[in-house]
């Protein structure tokens, strides 16, 4: 892939319905991807929905600036283990692996978004890990990873949950995994990806209830 600039300006708010995107080829013939943001060629800072067909695999490779994965369905594997639906994996900068999927899977993948000093590998089965009470009634939070200003978490909104207006230092990025997430700017059903820049403000809520993956504090550099 030639260098591609897709939603690469972090100072701009961006909303993408991943379900409406075409699947595009990858270096593996059994792996396709829907590009949400990309800055570069095959080695790029990028966020994508990635689909492994049954039997798909990649050769061993290194992630110079790390990788974050949320398994949306199916099972992803590598030489370190097997990761079923709902599993979050953070492979730190400099780590390497050879991923594959025997039966197929769909993933949310972020590449080259981690701090170079962040050396912690994290694996969390979000279907088994505990939830903690959030800042308002109806909100529960599952922390996944943190480093400096950067925080990644799953957040579950009960139906009819409303949050206070607030700003995001270092920006915010959301993938709606289930249900419908909303704010004063719109409604975002499952599959929506929203990136809000540094010091942006909104007042989120969910009338129907939802489950979201949230990453904050990483849009400063």
The predicted-structure confidence for 20-41, as pLDDT tens digits, reads as follows: 999 999 988 999 999 999 987 7
Residues 173, 157: Cα–Cα separation, whole Å: 16
| Residues facing residue 217 across a β-bridge | none
What residues contact residue 68 under an 8 Å CB cut-off, 6+ apart? Answer: 88, 89, 90, 91, 109, 110, 113, 114, 145, 152, 215
Residue 2 pLDDT class (50, 70, 90 cuts): low
Give CA angle at 42 (192, 3), nearest 5°. Answer: 85
pLDDT (tens digit per residue) in 116-148: 999 999 999 999 999 999 999 999 999 999 999
pLDDT (tens digit per residue) in 88-112: 999 999 888 999 999 999 999 999 8
3-state secondary structure of 164: coil
pLDDT for the residue numbered 59: 86
Nearest CA to 193 among 7, 64, 5? 7
Side-chain half-sphere exposure of 112, counting CA atoms within 13 A:
15
pTM score of the predicted model: 0.95
Sign of CA dihedral 147, 210, 123, 72: negative
Beta pairing class for 166-168 and 31-40? unpaired
Domains of the chain, CATH where assigned = 4-125 (2.60.120.10), 132-216 (2.60.120.10)
């Amino acid at each position: 892939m030639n260098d591609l600039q897709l939603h690469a300006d972090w100072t701009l708010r961006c909303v993408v319905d991943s379900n409406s995107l075409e699947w595009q080829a990858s270096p593996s013939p059994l792996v396709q991807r829907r590009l949400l943001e990309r800055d570069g060629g095959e080695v790029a800072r990028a966020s994508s929905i990635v689909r492994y067909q049954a039997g798909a695999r990649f050769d061993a490779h290194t992630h110079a600036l790390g990788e974050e994965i949320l398994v949306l369905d199916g099972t992803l594997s590598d030489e370190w283990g097997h990761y079923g639906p709902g599993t979050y994996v953070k492979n730190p900068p400099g780590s390497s692996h050879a991923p594959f999927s025997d039966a197929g899977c769909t993933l949310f993948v972020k590449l080259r978004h981690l701090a170079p000093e962040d050396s912690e590998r994290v694996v969390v089965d979000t279907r088994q890990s505990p939830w903690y009470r959030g800042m308002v009634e109806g909100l529960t939070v599952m922390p996944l990873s943190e480093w400096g200003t950067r925080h990644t978490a799953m957040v579950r909104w009960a139906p009819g949950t409303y949050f206070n207006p607030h700003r995001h230092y270092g920006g915010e990025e959301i993938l709606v995994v289930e249900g419908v997430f909303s704010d004063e700017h719109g409604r975002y059903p499952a599959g929506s990806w929203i990136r809000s820049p540094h010091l942006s403000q909104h007042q989120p809520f969910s009338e129907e209830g939802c489950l979201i993956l949230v990453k904050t504090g990483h849009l400063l550099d």
